Amino acid sequence: MAALLVGLVGLFAWSANRRWHLMTLGPNDLKWDKIADRLRATYRFAFAQERMRRYWLAGVAHNFIFLGFVVLLLRSLILFGRGFDADSSLFFFHSGTWLGDIYALLKDIFVVLVILGALVFVYYRVVAKLPRMTLKIEGVIILGIILSMMIGDIVYDGAWLNIKAREAGTAVAFHGWEPVGSTAALVMQGMGDGALKFFAHAGFWIHVALVLIFLNILPYSKHFHIITAVPNVFLAKQEPVGRLAPIDDIEGRVEREETLGIKKIDQFSWKNVLDFYTCTECGRCSDHCPATNTGKKLSPKHFTVDLRNFLYQHDDALRTNKNGTNGDGENADASEAEHQKDLVDGVIDPEVLWACTSCRACEQECPVFITYVDKIVDMRRYLVQERGEFPNELQTAFRSIETSMNPWGFSPDERANWADGLDIPLISEKQDVEYLFWVGCAPSYDDRAKKTTRATAELMLQAGVDFAILGPEECCTGDPARRAGNEFLFQMLAEQNCETLNGYSVKKIITTCPHCFNTLLNEYGDFGGKFEVIHHTDLLAQLVRDGKLKPTKSVDKSVTYHDSCYLGRYNEIYDAPRDVLRAIPGIKLSEPAETRDRGMCCGAGGAQMFKEDEPGDARVNDVRTDQLLQTGANAITSACPFCMRMLTDGLGNKERTDVEQLDIAELLLESVGSNDQDNIPTN
């Protein structure tokens, strides 16, 4: 036992040290703030495993195995002790004591539950062969080890109870505190002394040896998550999920010839590499990725696994120190050129990066809190700012944003044309208002989106909301540029907009665009802009609750609501739009199968609005439109101008002129009453 413990625990320590050294090559971004929040999240998602429940049978099976490992860890320690003293029970867990009996019962219960959980995953891998899972022999071997450990434990208990009973001169009997072990003892009671000793030794050594062998497999397999999942959840970002970390001192980095974005594998941060280590290859991320589900090259699972495999493949070379030796003092045999090559093209196809809509469906599903959008955007940053490589359509959008402060190239002087006839003041003329209405680019210029803008403005005027607009002083928030990787352009816009807003002492902002909402709320703080930002659906829901807007006219429509990714998954606004719809007489609301935090992206996020879909089997907006049409509704509602454009195009592609596409504000205005919607200026 001493040789086994020293040898295999020592081997694991050596492997763990290599993995630690590999992880710490990049910048250290581990954060230890908000400890109470981190502990709560760790309990909910690492131990209670809330996200695993989204696949209920797999979730239950995984909970059985996880909790079983927690409970049976003590059993392994007891058996290690028995390698030195056959009667050892770690001082407090002797049979016949209350603590020993309670633990014996728990141990037996969880042995059975672990077996049941493992059999579920054997079925998934061997019989059902779920396409979302990585179906390698490794997974079957691990399940075989788990089952062998549990069976070995039962065999050991059965034989050991018989041996102890014969030594005491008593008969074995069923024991309620040890139901599985005593049942096995009853089955084995007819065996001879030699057979019992053989099975006791076999069960014992199978358990203790496989525990230590399993421990040494972990750092080289996807099951490394058994060790890394809890710290990965604990260290997950606590700031808003809608915030992308800025590149600090861009101009200084350029002067110092430092890379903007991620070019090489050792530029990923400690937390990024911990994400790679923690991937379980369960495929839940890709199951819900709109790019994967429309036949694009992007699979979040394969994106992560490919980067991890490259990292592991060049372990020795990456750990080479300045003296030309690796972390173990041996000469490194891998060439520098190979492990330092560009990840884009070398490991990740650019098409993979440009297919991402930044919808965060992958991150919402991941049970161990791996992030994907930040890594993809960081690699886009390198492509755009270092190599100048990006889809041709984005060149037009970038140039238009630079020169006209909007992606379409319309004149800034036309920004307030949508408000003609509404008597809405500019903030330059009336600075003592409660709210600034941040209109956004699409709601200012797109003819269809203008209807939403005017509807929202008229509802606010009717409710007596005190607000003004920036008009020509408003610029694009920079969301499309940032998500497309043009961080320099984004920061230029952010600084300019923050200067304008702070110059007018703006405190509260209303916006109809979830992309503007997210950027102003979650990202402008890094540039000196601290604002209370309200989406128009939240505002309208509050105005209805307060009785300042009274929907009285019946709107006889069957509607289904599409959740915007940047409103829902990014900022958890799900109920307000539905509350508004339910307050409108005559509205019949039906939910699609893919709804709320599992609602599919419209396909516009991540700057996709300004470029064509990557090659695939279908367009994302067409698939999402199909999902919404399956409800049988005669109107699709949304609360985002990007979503409205994509779904309107989807309905057009399917020639469904019988189905309307409306914003929440338009429906509410129809019920409240309006005299204005026929007077919208067009471009």
Residues 314-371 have pLDDT tens digits of 999 998 753 344 444 444 444 456 888 999 999 999 999 999 999 999 999 999 999 9
Q: Are residues 222 and 254 in the same domain?
A: no
The verdict on residue 13 lying in a domain is no
The CA distance from 368 to 357, in Å, is 21
On the CB side of 5, CA atoms within 13 Å amount to: 10
The pLDDT of residue 682: 53
Q: Rounded to the nearest 10 degrees, what angle do helices 179-188 and 98-122 cross at?
A: 80
Q: How far apart are the first and last CA of the chain?
A: 82
The CA distance from 303 to 568, in Å, is 24
Q: Are 504 and 426 in contact (CB under 8 A)?
A: no
Report phi then psi at 62, rounded to 5: -65, -35
CB contact set of 458 (below 8 Å; sequence gap of 6+): 422, 669, 674, 676
Q: Are residues 367 and 412 in the same domain?
A: no
H-run or E-run covering 491: helix 487-503
> pLDDT tens for residues 480-531?
999 999 999 999 999 999 999 999 999 999 999 999 999 999 999 999 999 9
Q: Are 440 and 477 in contact (CB under 8 A)?
A: yes
The verdict on residue 7 lying in a domain is no
Q: Are residues 350 and 459 in the same domain?
A: no
Give the number of other CB atoms < 10 A from CB of residue 507.
12
Q: Are 638 and 562 in contact (CB under 8 A)?
A: yes
Q: What strands lie across the sheet with 532-535, from one edge to the other? A: 467-468, 435-438, 508-511, 532-535
The CA distance from 365 to 47, in Å, is 16
| CATH number of the domain bearing residue 364 | 1.10.1060
Q: Are residues 430 and 303 in the same domain?
A: no
Exposure string of 376-395, with b = 16+ CB inside 10 Å and e = fewer, is bbbbbbbbbbbeeebbeebe
The CA distance from 660 to 229, in Å, is 46
Token output for 391: 């889809």
Taking each continuous run of H as one helix and of E as one strand, the counts in the chain are: 29, 8
Report phi then psi at 455, rounded to 5: -60, -45
Q: Are residues 197 and 303 in the same domain?
A: no
Number of folded domains that form the chain: 3
What single-letter DSSP state applies at residue 469?
B
The CA distance from 638 to 651, in Å, is 14
Q: Are residues 579 and 622 in the same domain?
A: yes
The pLDDT of residue 662: 97
The CA distance from 378 to 383, in Å, is 9
Q: Which residue in 338, 322, 339, 325 sits closest to 265, CA to CA? A: 339
The verdict on residue 572 lying in a domain is yes
Burial tier of 468 (Cβ tally within 10 Å: 0-12, 13-18, 19+) = buried
What single-letter DSSP state applies at residue 616?
S
| Positive or negative: CA dihedral 348, 349, 351, 354 | positive
Residue type, 454: R
Q: Are 673 and 554 in contact (CB under 8 A)?
A: no
Q: Are residues 614 and 546 in the same domain?
A: yes
Q: What strands lie across the sheet with 557-561, from one edge to the other? A: 587-590, 557-561, 635-638, 660-663
| Cα Dmax for the chain | 101
The verdict on residue 21 lying in a domain is no
Q: Which residue in 478, 348, 308, 326 sits closest to 402, CA to CA? A: 478
Q: Are 158 and 187 in contact (CB under 8 A)?
A: yes
Q: Are residues 282 and 164 in the same domain?
A: no
CB contact set of 636 (below 8 Å; sequence gap of 6+): 559, 560, 561, 562, 625, 628, 629, 647, 651, 659, 660, 661, 662
The verdict on residue 509 lying in a domain is yes
> pLDDT tens for residues 77-94?
999 999 999 888 887 888
Q: Are residues 258 and 208 in the same domain?
A: no
The verdict on residue 10 lying in a domain is no
The verdict on residue 395 lying in a domain is no
Q: Are residues 92 and 127 in the same domain?
A: yes
Q: Which residue has the tokens 């703080």?
A: 525
Report phi then psi at 184, rounded to 5: -60, -35
Q: Which residue in 548, 490, 542, 551 sits closest to 515, CA to CA? A: 490
Q: Are 245 and 525 in contact (CB under 8 A)?
A: no
Q: Which residue in 219, 200, 216, 214 sits closest to 144, CA to CA? A: 214
CB contact set of 560 (below 8 Å; sequence gap of 6+): 589, 590, 591, 592, 628, 631, 633, 635, 636, 637
Q: Are residues 454 and 531 in the same domain?
A: yes
Token output for 473: 């002083």
Q: Rounded to the nearest 10 degrees, what angle do helices 137-168 and 56-82 cross at?
A: 50
> pLDDT tens for residues 433-465?
999 999 999 999 999 999 999 999 999 999 999
Q: What is the DSSP string of 570-613?
A: TT---HHHHHHHHHSTTEEEE--SS-GGGPPP-S-TTTGGGSPP
Report phi then psi at 508, rounded to 5: -125, 135
Question: Range of 272's domain?
Answer: 250-326+334-387
Q: Are residues 265 and 203 in the same domain?
A: no
Q: Are 535 and 566 in contact (CB under 8 A)?
A: no
The verdict on residue 450 lying in a domain is yes
SS (H, E, C) 58-69: HHHHHHHHHHHH
Residues of the chain with pLDDT under 50: 322-335, 677
Strands 557-561 and 587-590: parallel
Strands 508-511 and 435-438: parallel
pTM for the full model? 0.93
